Amino acid sequence: MVTEQMGAARTPGRPRSEKAEKAIIDATIDMLAEGTGVAELSIEAIAARAGVGKTTIYRRWSNKEDLVVDALATLKPPLPELPGKSVRDDIISYLELMRQESSHARTRCIINIALGESDRFPHLAERFREIAVKPRREALRRIIQRGVDSGELRPDVDVEVAMATLSGTMLFLTKWRDLDDALSPDIAVRITDQMLTGLRP
């Protein structure tokens, strides 16, 4: 009975805490997506946008960089379960996720910060790599290595170069294509088939 009463007493605070945290994360992401750089972003501005006090933010994050990392990480959900039927299918699924993320302003800001802010904010870049980039790199590495082990790919494939070629091509096309050129919805298939021509036995 005592336990139930204590639990009931704590419950009302949780929704407010979660609501405030979501408002802070959303405000941070929105400002970044609108073009505010990490250097120009301030805790004061985020607090005003989120409708909370600065102390509410500092209770959760010790500095701006940690908040930005956690905000960006919410935009990088784990990779969905890959089909696993063939290396080709899994690579297409992997690249298609990259294509979809590039089509939204919120997820595009991840690429902008990763490419443009890493030198100025090395701590942010390193934490973001650990949280959001490394798991995906490992997923792609496993796909390619599985292809080598199964014989779907050549035994002498340079796995690191293959990873960079596949993801780098999609990054190039989503980030630096001419603005007048719409990105083809089948681009993941085209990249995969083109690259596999050189990777297959």
For 94-105, the pLDDT digits (tens) are 999 888 877 776
In this structure, what CATH number is given to the domain that contains residue 41?
1.10.10.60
Using a cut of 0.75, tell me whether the model's pTM lies above it.
Answer: no
Q: Is the pLDDT of residue 53 over 90?
A: yes
Per the CB < 8 A criterion, the answer to whether 23 and 74 are in contact is no
pLDDT for res 1 = 42
Q: Is residue 97 part of a domain?
A: yes
How is residue 186 written in tokens? Answer: 């089948």
Confirm whether 146 is domain-assigned.
yes
> For the segment 80-94, what is each residue's pLDDT rounded down to a tens digit?
777 778 999 999 999
Q: Is residue 74 part of a domain?
A: no
What does the pLDDT read at residue 141? 95
Tell me the one-letter amino acid at 58: Y
Question: Which positions ≥6 away from 102 have C-beta within 8 Å?
Answer: 108, 111, 174, 175, 183
Neighbours of 144 (CB within 10 A): 23
The answer to whether residues 124 and 191 belong to one domain is yes
